Amino acid sequence: MARILIVEDEADLRDILHFNLQQAGYTVFPVATGREALRLARERRPDLVVLDLHLPDIDGTEVVKRLKADSATEDVPVLVLTARGEEVDRVLGFELGAEDYVVKPFSVRELLLRIAALLRRREAPREQRDVEFGLLRVDREAHRAWVDGAETTLTALELRLLLTLHDRKNRVQTRERLLDEVWGIDADITTRTVDTHVKRLREKLGAAGGYIETVRGVGYPFRESPDAHTA
């Protein structure tokens, strides 16, 4: 039975989430503050965190940052639940490492579907083999990446984007497919966000950034081999 940590300072909404998630068969830990969330995340090791960004003590973006920086909780998926619906806020949440983003007011049914999708993705078998590709090396289990021997720091989402492209080498991944595969079901962001993340990922990869190529108007393929070049 999956364990879900709810971080929501509005008591009525917290109770609604608690009730519906329990009805769906989950074990639920509801809290009202960021500090409680960080403490409980380490103690209970939830399978997923549903997090409001507007909290009375610590901003939710800081909570995401701390969860992803802590080796005990860095692998726990975070679904951001907030009234901040501007694209810049959604992009910030993803850049910090959140796996999904739902804007208030929301459909409980949609929220449950998104939670189920995140949990399925977390439970899916993961390749144990490290990525060794030219200048690039990735340790899947440790969530770490190196370029030409020097470690580069990637967010959880950037690493997932990189591995998704790498594992489908030489096949163009459309922006829409990447939104679905990397960001989750029906992610409420535009395809421009994919371009922004690919650009930032290339910058972080430095000399290995060229392995991610562009098919204009279609999407992004990862090179078939480190020495291959698209004409």
* Residue 229 maps to a domain: no
Flag whether the pTM goes above 0.75: no
- The pLDDT value recorded for residue 81 is 84
- The pLDDT value recorded for residue 157 is 85
Residue scoring higher pLDDT (220 or 82):
220
- The pLDDT value recorded for residue 120 is 82
| HSE (side-chain half, CA atoms, 13 Å) at 111 | 24
Please give the residue range of the domain that contains residue 39.
3-123
CA distance 211 to 2: 37
* Residue 34 maps to a domain: yes
Residue-wise pLDDT for 70-129, tens only, equals 888 988 999 988 776 565 566 666 677 788 888 888 889 989 988 998 888 776 555 546
Query: Which single residue is written with the structure tokens 């962001």?
Result: 189
- The pLDDT value recorded for residue 155 is 87
**CATH of residue 159:** 1.10.10.10
Domain boundary pick from 100, 123, 146: 123
- The pLDDT value recorded for residue 100 is 83
From 220, 204, 4, 201, select the one nearest 100 (Cα to Cα).
4
Residue-wise pLDDT for 183-215, tens only, equals 765 555 667 888 999 999 999 999 999 999 999
